[in-house]
Chain A
Amino acid sequence: MGLEAQCWKRYDGKHDIIHGMKRLALRGVLAAVLVLAGVAAGDALAQTRLRVFAGGLSHRPELIRKLFDQYHAAAPGVTIEIETGGATSELQRQYLSTVLNAKDASIDVFMIDIVNPAQYFGAGWLEPLNAYVGDPAVAMKPYLPAYAMANVIDGRIAALPAFADAMFMYYRKDLLEKHLLAEPKTWDELAAAARKIQQGEGDPNLQGLSIQGAPIEGAVCTFLLPYWSQGKELHDASGKLTLDKAAAVKGLNVWLALVDQGVIKRNVAEVKTSDTVNEFMAGQVVFAVNWGFAWDVFKKGKDSKVAGKVGVMPLPAVAGGKSATCAGGWQWAVSAFSRNKAEAARLVGFLAGPEASKFLAMEGSLLPTHRGAYADADVIKAVPWLKDAAGVLAGAHGRPVSKDYGQVSDVIRTTTSAVMARAKKPEEAVDEIAERLRRLAR
């Protein structure tokens, strides 16, 4: 038997004590480690990382980054990363469609188009925000009506507005003054004014009116503008999708008549939003229907030949109708698969709040969704045209709120474009739309 073993045998009791002490020490160290780990983990937990999905340029990531920095300054435990997944809403939809279909938890907040909340909420991709911001009737009151409508599905808040947009009528103030014409209030007046100017200027390339006829999302607005102007809606009182066929045909014929008169160019079905902007900027258009971003482009664009000559007004009405325009803009939503829903909802609340709205308006000329912002003196000083925009935005209509909006949009924009291309008759197109809406309403 070795010395050591003898040693231990002799000091059996000590052996136990040492052994016991060893065990205690081990446990102590373990406990300390656990405590430290717990603290560290707690630290990590307190440090939430939120990932926000915002697309490309149009979302003004540089401004949003500043907003995030403001939020981080006020809440240091939260770091926010921006993720981009597609420069156009179409590519974004493609990306989100794949990612959310796979129930991906990596995105916490995303920015979606005004037409998306109903569809995404229906698919179960958005977390309802009622628990975080309160009752819709109260929470949505500060916002313009179109956004309250678009973001609340079946009494649940699917998203909160980021910034607003609408279709405006831009026009060449100088040309109207030159030919002693007043701002047209109806489409007929506009046609007459346009033709007078076109004849007076003698430029064969001068377009009277530029609208978008390509099968893009904007074509849905092209279809709806004269329809809404007649006082019709695409849904009945209970919210079901309906279509007044006669009014729809009449609306489409408004555009076709303008094409026949030479006010709108023949290949209008090739015209996208950027085409209208570029052509107006080059001085080739008298009246142009376009979104709010165009104002800054016309005024400050480096190749703009029309700086200082542009006016903006509400869209004309159909004879005997009211002026109506299409609401656009973007919304903040919380992903239903996010692992940080509470924190994300708090961020969204801040981003949709009055300060953020004011910031975006003053720094980026983005139209605010808060009603109060339009009366705010600082904002008006920074963005003077807000005064003109306010009236237009107040009356802006939202596009149909439906979980099947994908199909609604598809049928309306493809048939409208086909009508503009003279490949389909308005009656045919309207029948097709009505048929599709009927199938969806079932």
Chain B
Amino acid sequence: MRLADRFRDPGDRALAILLLAPAFLLLAAIVVYPIMRLLWNSFFDLRLSGGAGPTFVGVENYVLVLQDRDFWKATAHTALITLVTVPGALLAGLGLAMLANLPFKRRWPVRLALLLPWALPMAFAGLIFAWFFHSEYGVVNDVARRFGGDGQRMWLLQPNWAFAAICLTIIWKTSSFMALILLAGLQTIPNSLYDAAEVDGASKWQQFRRITIPLLMPSIVVALVFRTIAALQTFDIPYTMTRGGPGDATQTLAMLIHKTTIEYLDVGYGSTIAVFMFVLSLFVTSPYLRRIGSSA
């Protein structure tokens, strides 16, 4: 009898353990082992192509990474992509979410248009946009030509334009992600607040600034955290669009790790770069995380 009672209404502490256990079990099974292995490998010179086993080198890998020009270039590219696409996707997503929330007569085209970029797997989105930006067969140059431009630009062959094309594609794909999170947030704002503000004589812009943004802030923060983490790990789209080219002008950290581990078979060094990426992600997102965790 008492046990059943406790089961029906477990104390807070027991409940906490019960609720958190599944998550941590799954994490332990799938993620903890790889992370431990990663950390372990980063202290070894483990190059599979050598055939020899791992040699302990302490922090030598870390020192080498810090001196590696390719690492810093890739970090710079990754940082730039993050700085451009995160706010970009946020703004685009916000606009899309608000538009999707408007009372149209028929809402489904707008809603569907919002969510369709999702149905297209990342890798193929990259390939399609690479085609759009192709200098000969691409839609972008074709449209430019029809509007009187010269339509000769080789978008993906020039470092800056390739970068722009990649950022645009990422924003296109991820603004729907943002829009969805923000839309869910927008819908929890009761209409009564706007009605009251309208009655008080507030303008649309003031309503936006004083009601929408503050109430949407939690959703915005969540969206930002994940978009940032994902942006720091950008791989699919630059990989399929330019393979990191021309040269290595659009190579990101995730691409460098992929190349080092899969093509160079240098597991030790690749693991070290991954550790750096983790530290960077943690550093960049911890202020946001603190905000979410504390605002209970």
Contacts and interface: CB of A to CB of B under 8 A. Distances in A.
A404 interface: yes
Nearest to B52: A124
In this complex, which of A123, A124, A214, A414 has the most chain B Cβ atoms within 10 angstroms of its Cβ? A414
Given A123-B265, A215-B245, A270 B51 contact: no
A122 to B, nearest CB: 5
A409 B243 CA distance: 14
Contact of A119 (B156, B259, B265): B265
Given A97-B265, A421-B246, 19 more contacts: A101-B48, A101-B267, A119-B265, A122-B49, A123-B48, A123-B265, A265-B136, A266-B154, A267-B154, A267-B157, A403-B49, A407-B263, A409-B263, A414-B243, A417-B245, A418-B246, A418-B247, A421-B157, A424-B246
Interface of A: 93-94, 97, 101, 119, 122-124, 214-215, 265-267, 269-270, 403-404, 406-407, 409-410, 414-415, 417-418, 421-424
Interface string B205-233: 00000000000000000000000000000
Closest 8 CB pairs of A and B: A418-B247, A421-B157, A423-B246, A406-B263, A123-B48, A421-B246, A418-B246, A267-B135
Interface in B78-136: 134-136
5 contacts: A101-B267, A119-B49, A267-B154, A414-B247, A423-B246
Contacts of A270: 134-136, 154, 156-157
A266 B155 CA distance: 12
Given A123-B51, A403-B49, A93 B154 contact: no
B244 to A, nearest CB: 7
A93 B48 CA distance: 14
B245 A421 contact: yes
Contacts of B262: 93-94, 97
A406 B136 CA distance: 31
A405 B79 CA distance: 30
Nearest to A100: B48
Contacts of A421: 154, 157-158, 245-246
Contacts of B247: 414-415, 417-418, 423-424
Contacts of A410: 259, 263-264
Contacts of A415: 247
Nearest to A410: B263
A423 B136 contact: no
Contacts of A423: 157-159, 245-247, 249
B293 interface: no
